[in-house]
Structure 1
Amino acid sequence: MKKQTAGREQLGEFAPKFASLNDDILFGEVWSREDQLSPRERSLITCSSLLTQGVPQLEAHLKIAKKNGVTKEEIVEVITHLAFYTGWPKAWSAFALAKMIFDE
């Protein structure tokens, strides 16, 4: 089980149950099922979903994806592919984040 503390650190006092579900269930149990999907695969799926929704959490998950071994070339291909399904403005926004993160 991976130790995740972002939920508790950011929302622990304000929304303790949500923080617990985030850290213990989502990241502790679901993301830790590496025999089902690797962290790299989960990152590609998660970034794809967040990109299509246009939500701010994409930035954090792009950073996680990079740590999980997703390459710049792969994320560029994912964003390019999804641009046709999710919309050009979302792709532009995602590219700005990806460029910032993967060029570091």
Structure 2
Amino acid sequence: MTDAINIPETETSATGRKIMDELMGSGYVAAKDAKRNSFNDEIQRYSEEVCFGRVWSREGIDRKLRSIINVAMLTALNRPNQLRHHLEGAVNNGATADELKEVLLQTAVYCGLPAAGEAFRIAEEVLSEHDLID
């Protein structure tokens, strides 16, 4: 739990935490903090500071494109749990159901049908939850 460990907040981690809440939805960081402990603290801090505080905060490409890239990479790596989170982020960042469908069709060619088929299943659940498909 968060009150059981000391979480010093740097400017970079504060930026990362803000971006995670914007990307994944309000309450995402609080839910992660509720599961934080002395074992997972360092990987949580790494995610906040490096992934979100340093890379996601860069201006070279917009968040929608970053999300779409992540959807493609996580499909290729067959990481369904992370894919679900980043599909949520892609929707929050303005990716449409049609854009996500095209990205996943592209992954079928280059990553294989089993990986893309699983990604389609997860995307269909996420998009249905957001009332973006019938």
Moved over 4 A (4+): 6-9
Quote how far apart the aligned CAs of 1:13 are. Answer: 2.9
Unaligned regions of 5+ residues in structure 2, if any?
1-14, 21-28, 130-134
Return the offset for 1:10: 3.6
Rg (Cα) greater in structure: 2
Tell me the residue number matched to 1:43: 67
TM-superposed deviation, 1:81: 1.1
Structure 1 residue 23: deviation in Å? 1.1
1:46 deviates by 0.7
Q: Deviations over 1:16-56 (max 9, x none)?
A: 111101012211121011x2111101001111100001012
Change (3 A) 1:66 1:22: same
Normalising by structure 2, we get a TM-score of 0.70
Q: State the superposition RMSD in angstroms.
A: 1.6
1:88 to 95, 98, 113: 113
Q: Give the secondary structure class of the aligned counterpart of 1:37.
A: coil
2:11 match? none
Aligned to 2:99: 74
Gapped runs of 5+ residues in structure 1? none
Give 1:94 deviation, angstroms. Answer: 0.5
Contact 1:59 1:97 survives alignment (8 Å): yes
**Aligned counterpart for 1:65 among listed residues 85, 90, 94:** 90
Aligned partners of 1:39 and 1:68: how far apart in 2?
6
In the alignment of these two chains, the number of paired residues is 103
Partner of 2:76: 52
- CA distance in 1 between partners of 2:93 and 2:71 (Å): 12
